[in-house]
Amino acid sequence: AKKTEPVIYDAVVVGAGFSGLYAVHKLRNELSLTVEAYENGGDVGGTWHWNRYPGALSDTESFVYRYSFDKELLLQGAWKRRYLTQPEILAYLGQVADRYDLRHSYQFNTKVTAARFDDASGLWRVTTNKGRTVTTKYLVTGLGLLSATNKPDFKGLDSFKGGQYHTGAWPIDGVDLKGKRVGIIGTGSSGVQAIAALAPEVGHLTVFQRSAQYVVPLANWSEGEDQIRQYKSSYDAIWDQVRRSAVAFGFVESSVPAMSVSAEERERVFEQAWERGGGFRFMFETFSDIATSKEANDAAADFIKRKIAQIVKDPETARKLMPSDLYAKRPLCCDGYYDIYNRDNVSLVDVKADPITEFTPAGIRIESGAEYPLDVVIFATGFDAVDGNYAKIDMRGRGGITLQQKWRDGPLGYLGMMETDFPNFFMILGPNGPFTNLPPSIEAQVEWIGDIIAHMERHGIDTIEPSEDAEAEWLTTCRAIAGMTLFPNAQSWIFGANIPGKKNAVMFYLGGLGNYRQAISAVKESGFKGMIFDKNKLAVAD
């Protein structure tokens, strides 16, 4: 009998968050390719499928935390407040999946475990934990840059009798925390949101804080039909501005250096931004150089520290809450954050001064010997950012080179999307991509990837990969820009500093979305300069 040919897909897409969903739509619905997609979770949503902790919310404003590629979809947008809650975003992504019929391309609850490029055929072989291996020409991944959870391996974790949950892997059915003694480790973006939501709910909340943070208000006011109609009628202008801007948050970044104005004027601007709410607004809409000048940064930091001193009643607690680092991590925002520490049922433990030594059956013990009895511990300890999920896949490119070998000095990606020696492999939000409100960056990348693939299909090209020179040049650009900012001087996930043993590396292009879009369209306009087409055939011809 004739042997049946194995199925060869045009493209395999991995991930069903903002990135993967748009990639499936682009490749399958717009470019008419055959697509097979995998998602480790039980449904679409990505970040918003996994992060169901109380208080989970996007701090990008509702009018720009969404796709813009389909005007009709944009005009259907509905929301209630200035920021979207996790259930709202999850529902939105579900609607998107319905609208473009995306779910039927996906195998859910399926993890990609290996992906190998076959030099002879120029195709990828992709293996899942369901024991299936498929062959594909293009491999497109949207694995999430804040997705691989980081759970510190404290001594005695297993002995703890209570419940333990990570914010980024929250049980779908929720956790009943009413009246319980809850401990939370971590005060990053997830931590502050959860702390604010839990304090009024639980019996007692003990916050284990390592680094104190700068947190400005959200100002999460309700937005009525009129306001939403106004956004919708200005959407063309809004998205045009977003795409040209640096952080893509839907406001115009300041061009005024902090020290160019009087101290009184600075105070007025900071006060106004405090009232207006929003972390990125506070850092980028107030003055042009908060993230680049130490003096400007100190001025912003001092303003927030004075707020902490005014709000927090107990001086010892206020002292613990005072950040000592630069204001140069991802900016945080939360309504009433510092007020929470005036509540009787909330206590703050400074685990930088007095580190957690172990979990006991009853709770958490710190170095000085104090033990905190707890019913539940919440890990708001963040993510192995950017490359965390890539490291879990056995990925091999040309000649069997592994991604781990390629990234031994830190992850790197050409334009945040491609790798030398990994032909026809496209990452969405891969290393050295933009640091912004993410949906607009995801759209820019998916559209560029779609353009390349369309070009290849039109011209009968089998493989594409960046040249080593192009990749090295992009990395040099990313490093140079990062070096002009204060961000490398603060220890955070942005440079991989939050994971013990992880090499500090420049993992983002900090030049802003406008410049990024220009850089990637220049590559396209030049007929994909810096790319090598059909390297195999070239080798044969040599």
144 binds ligand FAD (CB under 6 A): yes
Task: Report the alpha-carbon angle 345-351-354, nearest 5.
Answer: 115
Does the protein bind ligand FAD through residue 190 (CB under 6 A)?
A: yes
Rounded CA separation 94/82 (Å): 21
Q: Which does 388 bind (CB under 5 to 8 A by kind): ligand NA7, ligand FAD, none?
A: none
Angle between helical axes of 294-311 and 263-276 (0-180°, round to 10): 60
Closest distance of CB 334 from ligand FAD, Å: 12
282 with 59: CB under 8 angstroms? Answer: no
Among 54, 142, 162, 434, binds ligand FAD (CB under 6 A): 142
Q: Which is nearer to ligand FAD, 132 or 537 (CB)?
A: 132
Considering only 9, 11, 12, 19, the residue that binds ligand FAD (CB under 6 A) is 19
Contacted by 330, from ligand NA7, ligand FAD, none: CB < 5 to 8 Å by type: ligand NA7
Stretch that binds ligand FAD, among 35-43, 305-313, 344-352, 488-496 (CB under 6 A): 35-43
In the list ligand NA7, ligand FAD, none, the entry touching 62 (Cβ below 5 to 8 angstroms by class) is none
Nearest to ligand NA7 of 100, 493 (CB atom): 493
Judged by CB under 6 A, which stretch of 218-226, 360-368, 435-443, 474-482 contacts ligand FAD? 435-443
Q: Is-contact 229 221, C-beta < 8 A?
A: no
- 41 touches ligand FAD (CB under 6 A): yes
Of 271, 279, 285, 266, nearest in space to 217 by CA: 279
Q: Rank residues 47 and 150 by Cβ distance to ligand FAD and give the closer one.
A: 47
Pick from 13, 24, 37, 58 the residue near ligand FAD by CB under 6 A. 58
Provide the binding-site residues for ligand NA7, judged by CB under 6 A: 146, 152, 167, 185-191, 210-211, 330, 351, 356, 380-383, 493, 498
3-state SS of 129-192?
CCCCEEEEEEEEECCCCCCCECCCCCECHHHCCCEEEEHHHCCCCCCCCCCCEEEEECCCHHHH
Residue from 460, 525, 521 nearest 137 by CA: 460
Whether residue 68 contacts residue 74, with contact meaning beta carbons closer than 8 Å, is answered with yes
Binding status of residue 59 toward ligand FAD by CB under 6 A: yes
Residues paired with residue 35 on neighbouring β-strands, in sequence order: 11
Query: Per rule CB under 6 A, is residue 213 in the interface with ligand FAD?
Result: no
Q: Which residues contact 470 (CB under 8 A, 6 or more apart)?
A: 414, 529, 530, 531
Which residues of the chain form contacts with ligand FAD (CB under 6 A)?
14-20, 38-41, 46-47, 49, 51, 56, 58-60, 65, 111-112, 142-144, 146-147, 168, 189-190, 389, 393, 428-429, 437-438, 442
